């Protein structure tokens, strides 16, 4: 089978970016509202190494990476960094076979990691800053003008 054609694939990538980005920003802001010290204390209790540095990293990745994914900017790098952070979250905060998040399981971090990897692999789609910068977000009229002017 073939993947969805454009614009459907671009809309699907936009929806994945928006969903993963909103979830990341929400969790990053939640951590920020608890304060770096509060997050670091919780991380220390889970045995996460360098808890203050890890707390700052988690907050930065979740807010910064989430915003980048929302915009579709630096999507490959943002998706990979988010996936790496979620692997760390699995290893230190949600280990084991239990998938259910309500009992400490890994389902949320697994889905976020998969979303980050999928976006890193597929790219952000046409409705993104990355596409605009690369010139793929042009409208047909702008593209026609660009072609006729020797672009």
In whole angstroms, what separates CA 133 from the centre of its chain?
A: 19
Residue 1 lies in a domain: no
pLDDT at 6: 86
pLDDT bin (cut points 50, 70, 90) of residue 145 is very low
| Within a domain: 80 | yes
Length of the chain: 151
Number of domains forming the structure of the chain = 1
Residue-wise pLDDT tens digits, 79-135: 999 999 999 999 999 998 899 988 889 999 999 999 999 999 999 999 999 999 998
More confident residue, 6 or 77: 77
Question: For 42-56, how does the pLDDT look when each residue is reduced to its tens digit (9 = 90+)?
Answer: 999 999 999 999 999
pLDDT of residue 141 exceeding 70: no
Task: Give yes or no for a contact between 130 and 73, defined as CB atoms under 8 angstroms apart.
Answer: yes
Of 107, 115, 86, 84, the closest CA to residue 15 belongs to 115
Residue 126: inside a domain, yes or no?
yes
Give domain status of residue 2, yes or no: no
pLDDT band at 138 (very low <50, low <70, confident <90, very high): low
- Would you give the distance in Å from CA 36 to the centre of its chain? 21
Return d(Cα 8, Cα 26) in angstroms, integer.
27
- Which residues span the domain enclosing 39? 8-148
pLDDT for the residue numbered 97: 87
pLDDT at 126: 96
* Nearest of 1, 20, 5, 4 to residue 119 by alpha carbon: 20
Whole-number percent of the chain with pLDDT over 70: 89
The whole-number pLDDT of residue 51 equals 98
- pTM for the model: 0.85
């Amino acid at each position: 089978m073939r993947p969805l054609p454009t614009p459907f694939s671009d809309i699907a990538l936009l929806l994945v970016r928006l969903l993963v980005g909103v979830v990341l920003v929400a969790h990053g802001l939640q951590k920020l509202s608890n304060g770096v010290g509060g997050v670091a204390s919780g991380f220390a209790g889970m045995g996460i190494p360098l808890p203050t540095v890890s707390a700052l990293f988690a907050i930065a990745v979740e807010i910064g990476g989430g915003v980048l994914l929302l915009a579709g900017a630096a999507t490959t790098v943002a998706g990979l960094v988010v996936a790496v952070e979620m692997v760390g979250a699995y290893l230190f905060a949600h280990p084991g076979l239990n998938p259910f998040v309500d009992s400490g399981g890994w389902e949320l971090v697994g889905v976020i990691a998969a979303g980050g990897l999928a976006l890193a692999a597929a790219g952000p789609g046409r409705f993104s800053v990355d596409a605009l910068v690369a010139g793929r977000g042009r409208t047909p009229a702008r593209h026609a003008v660009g072609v006729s002017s020797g672009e």
